[in-house]
Amino acid sequence: MARPKFEATKAQIEGAYEAAKKGLTDEEIARAIKVRLGTFKKHKDQFIDVLKKGREEGLPVIIDDLQNALLKKACGYEYTEVHKKKNEKGKVIERREIKKYYPPDTLSLIFTLCNLEPMRYRSVNRVPTAGSNENEPTVEELFSEMAETTPTPYAIPPANNTDQV
């Protein structure tokens, strides 16, 4: 007797759509709809339309979640850790909540600013060298200008005597 031909049920198609909307991989989708990965790949043509639609609808939501997480990491946040102390039988005898602070992450902050406001916060990866462009100041000129406007003489070495601090 031959195996019965695979036919996706309505519940499996809806499950594949929801899983694709969450951004899951083919392996995770197959697990979610309770089908072996080989069977899912072999009969993927039955799911292709719902997978495409689910991924198109889910992508903006995933991007928003990632942006929010990056912004939260860039700005810093507070969170609560719960510590439980158990006795020999596994019963909780003491429970403490500790508030902690995750400081702003500089790299996330730079990345977020450069992407949200590219004209204002652009990434410049070059240092001007003497003679590279006549209109751009050299490093020495920039330091001498900073030395003139700095309130303390110890912040930036003087432009004429770089050995003295």
**Do 43 and 100 reside in the same domain of the chain?**
no
Mean pLDDT on 44-69: 89
Domain annotation covers residue 137: yes
**Do 24 and 35 reside in the same domain of the chain?**
yes
**Residue with structure tokens 């850790």?**
81
Nearest to 71 by CA among 102, 24, 105, 117: 105
Neighbours of 13 (CB within 10 A): 16
Query: Rounded distance, CA 57 to CA 21, Å?
Result: 6
Domain annotation covers residue 5: no
**Residue with structure tokens 């198109």?**
56
**Do 69 and 103 reside in the same domain of the chain?**
no
In this predicted model, which residue has the larger pLDDT, 163 or 39? 39
Instruction: Name the band, by pLDDT with cuts 50, 70 and 90, for residue 165.
Output: very low
Query: Is the predicted pLDDT of residue 23 greater than 90, yes or no?
Result: no
In this predicted model, which residue has the larger pLDDT, 22 or 158? 22
**Do 103 and 134 reside in the same domain of the chain?**
no
Interval 133-154: pLDDT, tens: 666 666 677 767 766 766 555 5
**Do 71 and 17 reside in the same domain of the chain?**
yes
Mean pLDDT on 46-65: 89
Domain annotation covers residue 138: yes
Domain annotation covers residue 1: no
Q: Within the chain, what is the greatest distance between any pair of CA atoms?
A: 95
Domain annotation covers residue 94: yes
**Do 102 and 136 reside in the same domain of the chain?**
no
Mean pLDDT on 84-96: 89
Query: Is the predicted pLDDT of residue 125 greater than 70, yes or no?
Result: no
**Do 14 and 68 reside in the same domain of the chain?**
yes
Domain that holds residue 50: 10-75
Query: Is the predicted pLDDT of residue 7 greater than 50, yes or no?
Result: yes
**Do 14 and 69 reside in the same domain of the chain?**
yes
Interval 58-86: pLDDT, tens: 988 888 888 888 888 988 999 999 999 98
Residue 33 CB burial class (10 angstroms; 0-12, 13-18, ≥19): buried
Domain annotation covers residue 2: no
Give the predicted TM-score (pTM) of the model: 0.49
In this predicted model, which residue has the larger pLDDT, 75 or 125? 75
- In the chain, the number of structural domains is 3
In this predicted model, which residue has the larger pLDDT, 162 or 72? 72
